[in-house]
């Protein structure tokens, strides 16, 4: 199967866009995880204070 030049450019563009989106989502997921952890931490602190 031969790929002509325009298709090759499209595929390259598609791959690059996919890479960027993947990295963006990974960063987003990490940010969400960090936010969850800090929320959990503050909840634990609140529990500790209420149990004292």
What is the rounded CA–CA span in Å between residue 27 and residue 21?
10
- Please give the model's pTM, rounded to 2 decimal places: 0.52
> What tens digit of pLDDT does each residue of 40-49 get?
777 777 777 7
Q: Name the nearest CA neighbour of 11 among 40, 19, 25.
A: 19
What is the rounded CA–CA span in Å between residue 17 and residue 5?
18
> What tens digit of pLDDT does each residue of 13-51 get?
999 999 999 999 999 989 888 888 777 777 777 777 776
Higher pLDDT, 32 or 5: 32
pLDDT of res. 22: 96
């Amino acid at each position: 199967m031969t790929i002509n030049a325009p298709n090759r450019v499209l595929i390259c563009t598609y791959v690059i866009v996919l890479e960027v989106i993947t990295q963006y989502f990974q960063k987003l997921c990490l940010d969400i995880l960090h936010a969850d952890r800090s929320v959990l931490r503050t909840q634990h602190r609140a529990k500790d204070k209420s149990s004292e």
